[in-house]
Amino acid sequence: MIGSGPIGALAVAVLKRAGARRIVAVDMHPKPLEIARAVGADDVLKGDEADAIAAVEADVVIESSGSHHGLASAIRGAVRGGKVAMVGLLPTGPQPVLISLAITRELELLGSFRFNGEIDEVIAALADGTLFVDPVVTHAFPLHRGLEAFEVARNSAESGKVLLDFSPAAAE
């Protein structure tokens, strides 16, 4: 898992529930790695540990950082013949990609955007408690503190998923 923000951490939780043999989470900041470990990552690595990431040799790598650096790490971390699922949305326009390495290592690059039929299964897993995601939500603010919520959410080194609470009780 390259990128352990809220989307990456949720992917870790889903992989754990699905019985993944080994989950390695990568991020540039300690807080997202702490969250990834709490929801099921077996190992965590800092994003600047290029040699350690390449040594993982994962069958499947999920890139959720939305950065060309993250995509490069995903390509380096995949085993020959492996798959790289690109979940993170890179900025529009040309992006530098290690395409020759992807070709020579015979990697399968898969695009992924949003969800299709999985939502029903996710809702059921949340309802029956088999999908543990509590650590992903690090902050919740009442609506009247919305600006503060956005400021906290902006700092990905210190926050995970930041929610706005629209309930009447939160307005008090």
Q: What 3-state class would DSSP assign to 2?
A: strand
Within a 10 A sphere around the Cβ of 148, how many other Cβ atoms? Answer: 13
Taking CA atoms, 20 is separated from 23, 39, 78, 89, 120, in Å, by 7, 13, 15, 24, 21
Residues 6 or more apart whose Cβ sits within 8 Å of residue 73: 2, 26, 47, 50, 53, 63
CA–CA separation, 84 and 56 (whole Å): 13
User: Which domains, and CATH codes, for the chain?
Assistant: 6-126 (3.40.50.720), 136-171 (no CATH)
Residue range 92-119: average pLDDT? 91
CA–CA separation, 47 and 16 (whole Å): 21
pLDDT tens digits, one per residue of 142-163: 999 999 999 999 998 899 999 9
pTM over 0.75: yes
pLDDT tens digits, one per residue of 3-28: 999 999 999 999 999 999 999 999 99
Q: At what angle do helices 6-18 and 30-38 cross, to 10 degrees?
A: 20
CA–CA separation, 40 and 48 (whole Å): 22
pLDDT tens digits, one per residue of 22-80: 999 999 999 999 999 999 999 999 999 988 998 999 999 999 999 999 999 999 999 99
Provide the CB-side half-sphere exposure for 22 (13 A, CA).
Answer: 7
Residue 128, pLDDT score: 96
Taking CA atoms, 78 is separated from 18, 63, 70, 136, in Å, by 20, 11, 12, 26
Residue 78, pLDDT score: 96
